[in-house]
Every structure is written in C-alpha cells, then in structure tokens.
Amino acid sequence: MIKLQIKETLEVREFEKAHALSILRLKNCAFELPQDSQFEFINNEFRSKPDKAIDIETPNKGNSKTGSKPRKQA
C-alpha cells in the first residue's frame, strides 16, 4: 500500500501500488506523495528514495560489538 495526499487538503489516503501509480500518472493529478514517503515519483514510476548519506564526521560512540570477550575460566 502507498500513501498519497490530496494537494489541496493534505488529506492522506492509502492505495494499492498499481492504483496509486495510475493516479499519479493522471494529468492535473489532485494527489502527490507525502513529504515523509519512502518513495518518489520520477518518470512515471515509483522509486525508493535514496538512503541518507553516511555521516563520516560523527565520532564512534564506542558501542561496537567487535573484538573478543575474555574467556570464562572453567
């Protein structure tokens, strides 16, 4: 299911993907994808929005689980 919102009222409705696609392909379409949609409508098709860019500047918080644990003594 895909959520579309009515441009004028911002009312959100859910549609089957094929139905939503047909709606957005109409001329003078009254609907659009909401801002928070995981999809974008490009060249008459749905595409998943690209993942957010990895922030390489953020320092490691040290919560990595890598590394060996001390062995328990038998």
Q: Which H/E stretch holds residue 5?
A: strand 2-6
Piece of the chain touching other proteins by CB under 8 A; list 4-12, 35-43, 45-53, 54-62: 4-12
Q: Does 25 bind other proteins (CB under 8 A)?
A: yes
How far apart (Å, rounded) are the C-alpha atoms in residues 34 and 54?
A: 24
Q: Does residue 17 belong to the site contacting other proteins (CB under 8 A)?
A: no
Own/partner pairs, 19-26, CB within 8 angstroms, 24+ separation: 20/46, 21/45, 21/46
Instruction: Mark residues 35-74: x for contact with other proteins by CB under 8 A, - for none.
Output: ----------------------------------------
